[in-house]
Chains A and B, each alone.
Chain A
Amino acid sequence: MFDFLEGYDVLGAFWTTVQLTVISAVGSLIWGTLLAAMRVSPVPLMRGFGTAYVNIVRNIPLTVIIVFTSLGLADIFGVTMGSGDFDVRGFRLAVLGFVAYTAAFVCEAIRSGINTVPVGQAEAARAIGLSFSQTLRLIVLPQAFRSVIGPLANVLIALTKNTTVAAAIGVAEAATLMKTMIENEAQTLLIGVVFALGFVVLTLPTGLFLGWLSKRLAVKR
């Protein structure tokens, strides 16, 4: 019944999906935190930049961004991402696109987390003479991160699903393989179920684990 799987590297494709997800997640967490810091900073110019970035990037479809990295960045501007190999280049371009896009949502999640930290915390920090970056680094962000694990988990799950968009530029991940298989094999329904379950397996444990973690780490107030 499952002989249609022969000759296709389904696990390999999902492994690429996982790699895309993890690398993009780390990248967008860093860039998103920086953006969030800019959005609450005392320098108006930085606040403006952060706001503009988030509002612009959030309103562009991810597909447009991913296709642009390939047709625009790579083909026109000759950005090779340090590799001449077509597959490696596509992978890295996709990661670049995912980081640029997901960071906007990470930024919004963290900013909402900052808003959940009681005003007294920041006031106390200022009262003992901490600077803005000290207040943010030592007092506010550690508490904010604990309360945004839930929203960030949602962003991560969304990112996992979004990595399928990399199929638009031919990265050999799950959706690309599904498209090939579904066109060449007769068992349309079974192939659909296999790939759907693959994503359920990827997203469900992440959701359960991070949900448990966010309850455990939530600041009791």
Chain B
Amino acid sequence: MTSVLYDAPGPRAKRRNVLISVIFLAVLALLVWFVWDAMNEKGQLEWALWKPFTQSEAWTTYLLPGLANTLKAAALAMVIALPLGAVFGIARLSDHRWVRLPAAWVVEFFRAIPVLLLILFANEAYDRWANVTTEQRQLYAVVTGLVLYNASVLAEVVRAGILALPKGQSEAAKAIGLRKGQTMRSILLPQAVTAMLPAIVSQLVVIVKDTALGGVMIGFTELLNSRATLAAFYANVIPSFIVVALIYIVLNFILTSFASWLEKRLRRSKKSTGAVLSAEDMEELNPAAVGGSFGTGGEGGGLPGSRTYT
């Protein structure tokens, strides 16, 4: 599509493109110089501030334990949210109104609430009504908040995954006399799980990014929180931000690449029915670190309320 927007450049267009490139490069260079100069002026480029990152102490004392907590919270949240999401996703496809409607309400409710509110609420609830240590409470609160939100997002993923399967699958199952539960268990779910894999992996990116909220708001010692401790010790605010941001970028980039590799592989594979929930759709429709409503591609952007529940 991209190249359809313009003709192959002729001599004049080539000259113009070079000119625009030069101007754009100049603006970019100016911007970089401006930032560099500002950092230099505030003494943020001094080697003393960057040196800690070349030594093991900064990593073993601050960054790696923080990263470990980030990953732990994210993994726990994913592992708990997935079965919960599957239950609600399947419940929303139920033939019975009294199962379908409450499931839909729960899913839509938790999708409409910022994950931060859920974390704050869970934190306070554990503080008041549960007998746990501070450290446990922080981890539990972050995981609870993430689970509630992401289970409802994953419920939509599961639902979309099942709906994306060709109709012939459930018709064939019916024709050979399988019951509803059997159809779901042995025909639909196994195929839907494969179709959903890329979407699930990209949801992991969202979860990883959301753990940072717990660090700032309730003191959970994850990566961003460890950055603050590290910066307080070495007095290197800007370098520590840059390093931590890089860690997040690399981590999420690996996850995103894995998701798209998985998607490509699944699309190629001859065994599947060809129904794949793309990671790309997922990211576009479920955009935000802290929130984002997931929409199934087939429905044209699943807005809360834009689909009929009955």
Contacts and interface: CB of A to CB of B under 8 A. Distances in A.
Nearest to A148: B301
Nearest to A201: B112
A204 B113 CA distance: 10
Contacts of B209: 59-63
Interface in B129-171: none
Interface in A151-189: 151, 153-155, 157-162, 164-165, 167-168, 174-175, 178-179, 182-183, 188
A44 interface: yes
Contacts of A136: 5
Contacts of B216: 63, 67, 168
A56 B293 contact: no
A138 interface: no
B305 A211 contact: yes
Nearest to A122: B4
A30 interface: no
Interface in B260-310: 283-293, 295, 300-306
26 contacts: A44-B21, A46-B24, A60-B245, A61-B209, A61-B211, A62-B209, A63-B215, A63-B289, A77-B38, A109-B287, A112-B284, A123-B4, A126-B4, A150-B295, A151-B284, A154-B302, A158-B290, A158-B292, A161-B113, A161-B288, A175-B117, A188-B125, A200-B112, A204-B304, A211-B306, A215-B306
A40 interface: yes
Contacts of A64: 212, 224, 241, 244-245, 248
Interface in A100-121: 101-102, 105, 108-109, 112, 114-115, 117, 119
A126 B128 CA distance: 67
The SS class assigned to the A binding surface is helix
Q: Which 9 A-B pairs rank lowest in CB-CB distance, beginning with the nearest?
A: A150-B301, A161-B291, A211-B306, A158-B288, A105-B287, A59-B252, A61-B209, A63-B212, A158-B292
Given A115-B1, A151-B301, 17 more contacts: A40-B1, A40-B5, A62-B209, A62-B290, A63-B290, A76-B237, A119-B4, A122-B5, A135-B5, A135-B6, A150-B301, A151-B285, A154-B303, A175-B117, A178-B117, A192-B121, A211-B303
Interface in B73-116: 109, 112-116
Contacts of B284: 105, 108-109, 112, 151
A75 interface: yes
Contacts of B300: 150, 214-215, 218
Contact of A182 (B24, B124, B208, B244): B124
Q: Most A CB atoms within 10 A — which of B4, B121, B245?
A: B4
Given A154-B287, A165-B116, A42 B205 contact: no
Interface string B5-32: 1110100010001001100110010000
A27 interface: no
A16 interface: no
A158 B42 contact: no
Interface in B15-68: 17, 20-21, 24-25, 28, 38, 42, 44
B248 A45 contact: no
A182 B28 CA distance: 46
Contact of A126 (B7, B109, B211, B238): B7
Contacts of A122: 1, 4-5
Interface of B: 1-2, 4-7, 9, 13, 17, 20-21, 24-25, 28, 38, 42, 44, 109, 112-117, 120-121, 124-125, 128, 205, 208-213, 215-217, 224, 237-238, 241, 244-245, 248-249, 251-253, 256, 283-293, 295, 300-306
Given A150-B303, A199-B112, A203-B304, A63 B213 contact: yes
Range of interface residues on chain A?
A: 35 or more
B25 A208 contact: no
A58 B253 CA distance: 9
Contacts of B117: 164, 174-175, 178, 192, 195-196, 199
A8 interface: no
B17 A43 contact: yes
A68 interface: yes
